[in-house]
Structure 1
Amino acid sequence: MQKCMDWSSVTFDWNRVRAFLVTAEEGSLSAAARALGLAQPTLSRQVDALQTELGVVLFERFGRGLELTPAGADLIAHARKMGDAAMALSIAAHGQSEDVSGLVTISASDLYAGLVLPPILKRLREAEPKITLRILADNQASDLMRREADIAVRNFRPKEPDLIAKRLADARAAFFAAQDYASRTGMVETETDWANVDLITPGPAQEFIAALQSFGVSIPHASVACECTSYLAMWEMVRQGLGVGIVDTGIGDRDPTMCRIAPSLPDVPFPIWLTAHRDILTNRRMRFVFDFLAAELSASQSA
């Protein structure tokens, strides 16, 4: 007969393990404290308490950061398993809820979060005012496995088996400029015409130009006038007449102050995926938001 575990003897503190895990992943106490929303002294005390409890030194200082000691490196895999188990428990608990009220976190690029989602989210809140929204406007993909977001609008299909994704549309992007800018520079009809325009790239210029070449679009590096890490800021710079930028045709074509600057170039295709953790969608609130976004985003692309 299998004996039941005496849980009264277990005093392990998950908060200390989490502090250890996040500090190892972030590489410093300050970064880990920000990630966890804790004061740095509080986080430091949790790490110190775990080291005392285990009787080992987990970190050693390396410049301004921290590195795992051999003992810490041996234990980090166990801490990750505990983190994954805690996340699985949280997801399963969310899935049991039938209450439509509560928080839903949605991740999208800053361009989509700023220009595409607002009218959709307004209609969503009108349909279900008890739902509270948190929007992560970030051009880096959020980690849905660790619940950085519940639902993500992405341009790629996830590889993780526990994530589900729905392909909403095959969007296209093209080069745009403000009407007055285009009247001064003229249209870009040949490769040499790029010497007369100022290209604003979303991200590092070298990576952007290489990506375009894979679609058969060749642009000289000398055309680059500005690199911008924000798609939304890049688009506003283009709208203000600073130069030429590439954007979703659904956004560019609807702006009467803008025009396509290189009409002879082929549009650059990209897919739009809606992604979430499989278990999240057993939750009524999450399922409602997922289905609402899928329908609205699909309609916005076909409009």
Structure 2
Amino acid sequence: MHIRMDWRAVKFDWNKARAFLVTAEEGSLSAAARALGMAQPTLGRQVDGLEQELGIALFERVGRGLTLTPGGMELLEHVRAMGEAAGHVSLTALGQSQALEGRISISASETYAAVLLPPIVAKLRREEPGIEVEIVVANHASDLLRREADIAVRNFRPTEPDLIARKIGMADAVLFAAPSYLAGLGHPKTPFDLRRANFVNMDRSGGLMKGLNTLGLGLTEANFPLFTESYIVMWELVKQGCAIGILDAVIGDADPAVARVLPDLEPLSFPIWLVAHREVTTSRRIRRVYDFLTEELSR
């Protein structure tokens, strides 16, 4: 059987071709799924999709295994050659990425981008002057799969299988206010003393109020007359004596314009994760920055 088709009319998908190639080499979907590190149903759908696009059967089931059809055997030769060519391209690109120079983008929230990252980036530039750094300020999670950033500092663990993540540690979020505002409240000493205090809200879902109420504050929506999605704006409102805000303790304690509210109050703890796309770890440059950030943020 000789396969003839107009390749210009075929929307080629290398993932499907690779699924076919590995399945043919391994002899079964289960073995191929293990080799590729993916779920067997996903692999099966890719093989089925390739058969539908080409309009031919590629495999016949024999017992618990699979055997190639005549059309599948002929196609295998072409796909195997493509796989070898793709490997050469990958190795060439990988070799080019081994130089410690070029651009890398790091995504972080406003406060981390403005306070934590600059001294770290300054140190990185001193050690690796060939690396150009772009800091992407995003209070939402940047889409690493779409390359909105190479590396991201997040407060939650990613669930996408193509992302890798390293937990840097835990951070404490505590309440801060200007000394003048605390004086106006009569220097509160217990959570009950904050029942008439104002807070800057940054969460329309009410999550901040719920979190604080788990600490015994007993707040209502009336306690949140101010709202902003910007951490920088929130912090300026706090320093101006408008209300109480919540921030990473390391950042807040370093600002002499504010003081902790109820220093003995239990903090709201959250994790810090360093996240990157699995493929970018093959780049020596990005691996260097990823490891550098891990070490510096862990201090």
1:298 aligned to 2:280? no
Preserved CA contact (<8 Å) 1:234 1:245: yes
Residue 265 of structure 1 deviates from its aligned partner by 2.1
Q: Normalization by structure 2: what TM-score?
A: 0.67
2:288 aligns with: 288
1:164 aligns with: 164
Q: For residues 215 and 245 of structure 1, what CA distance do their matches in structure 2 show? A: 15
Q: For residues 157 and 105 of structure 1, what CA distance do their matches in structure 2 show? A: 19
Q: Normalization by structure 1: what TM-score?
A: 0.66
Preserved CA contact (<8 Å) 2:239 2:258: yes
Preserved CA contact (<8 Å) 1:167 1:272: yes
Residue 208 of structure 1 deviates from its aligned partner by 1.8
Preserved CA contact (<8 Å) 2:178 2:238: yes
Q: For residues 5 and 216 of structure 1, what CA distance do their matches in structure 2 show? A: 71
Distance 1:177 1:2, change over 3 A: farther
Mean Cα deviation higher: 107-116 or 178-187 = 178-187
Mean Cα deviation higher: 219-228 or 159-168 = 219-228
Equivalent residue of 2:219, what SS? Answer: coil
1:145 aligns with: 145
Letter in 2 for 1:106: I
Superimposed CA distance per residue, residues 193-249 of structure 1 (whole angstroms, 9 cap, x where no aligned partner): 224322112232723212334566542322112111111211121122221100111
| RMSD after superposition | 2.9
1:1-303 matched pairs, under 5 angstroms: 9=8, 95-96=94-95, 97-204=97-204, 206-213=206-213, 218-299=218-299
1:81 aligns with: none
Q: For residues 160 and 215 of structure 1, what CA distance do their matches in structure 2 show? A: 33
Show structure 2 runs of 5+ residues with no match: 12-86
1:35 aligns with: none
Show structure 1 runs of 5+ residues with no match: 13-88
Residue 121 of structure 1 deviates from its aligned partner by 0.9
Q: For residues 216 and 281 of structure 1, what CA distance do their matches in structure 2 show? A: 44
Q: For residues 103 and 260 of structure 1, what CA distance do their matches in structure 2 show? A: 39
Please identify the structure whose Cα radius of gyration is greater.
Answer: 2
Letter in 1 for 2:258: M
Distance 1:262 1:237, change over 3 A: same
Preserved CA contact (<8 Å) 1:203 1:230: no
Equivalent residue of 1:211, what SS? Answer: helix
Residue 146 of structure 1 deviates from its aligned partner by 1.6
Preserved CA contact (<8 Å) 1:107 1:136: yes
